[in-house]
């Protein structure tokens, strides 16, 4: 699964306002609701699932990347949302550096292999310094999505 397969312009926040990982998760889940990918009635339950996973170990993997995620029966397919913070977010990352790119994704309950593959694919993209820097410098969500789609063609 390509990153471009689970993101639309409405699922990219080019200017995250959050100052910590908990607020970032809330902001990103809210964007999934706004984009119509999560039912408004499921907002809190989904945020709780992602935060519960985050409490077990930070998904701040280093290099300015956070990948909060979770499994839930409240969605029929993999969904994701990408946020960019120009100021950086305290994510309790492995390298103790602020996170500038946060990719939150959800996988339907019971699809463990899909969960692992999605996590692997997202990490593969975001591990490329050139790709990260391009996303960090992009003018807006449209430009970020274009970069993501171009990366998928490489």
pLDDT at 9 over 90: yes
Asked which of 47-51, 92-96, 133-137 is least confident by mean pLDDT, the reply is 92-96
pLDDT number for residue 98: 95
pTM: 0.93
- The mean pLDDT value of the chain amounts to 92
Residue 17 token pair? 């306002």
What's the CA gap between 35 and 110, in Å, rounded?
Answer: 24
- CA neighbor of 103 nearest in space, from 33, 43, 16, 35: 16
Indicate the DSSP class of residue 107. Answer: E
Q: Give the chain's domains with CATH numbers.
A: 3-153 (3.40.930.10)
pLDDT number for residue 28: 98
Output the CA torsion sign for 117, 123, 128, 132. Answer: positive
User: What's the Rg (C-alpha) of the chain?
Assistant: 14
Proportion of the chain above pLDDT 90, given as a percent: 77
Taking only the tens place, the pLDDT of each residue in 14-64 is 999 999 999 999 999 999 999 999 999 999 999 999 999 999 999 999 999
What's the CA gap between 110 and 138, in Å, rounded?
Answer: 36
């Amino acid at each position: 699964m390509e990153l471009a397969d689970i993101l639309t312009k409405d699922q990219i926040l080019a200017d995250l306002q959050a100052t910590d990982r908990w607020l970032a998760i809330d902001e990103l889940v809210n964007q999934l609701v706004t984009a119509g990918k999560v039912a408004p009635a499921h907002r809190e339950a989904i945020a709780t699932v992602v935060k519960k996973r985050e409490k077990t170990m930070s998904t701040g993997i280093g290099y300015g990347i956070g990948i909060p995620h979770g499994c839930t029966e409240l969605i029929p397919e993999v969904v994701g949302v990408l946020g960019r913070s120009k100021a950086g977010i305290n994510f309790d990352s492995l390298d103790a550096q602020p996170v500038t790119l946060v990719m939150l994704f959800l996988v339907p309950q019971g699809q463990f292999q899909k969960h692992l593959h999605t996590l692997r694919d997202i990490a593969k993209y975001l591990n490329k310094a050139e790709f990260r820097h391009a996303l960090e410098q992009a003018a807006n969500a449209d430009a970020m999505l274009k970069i993501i789609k171009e990366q998928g063609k490489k």
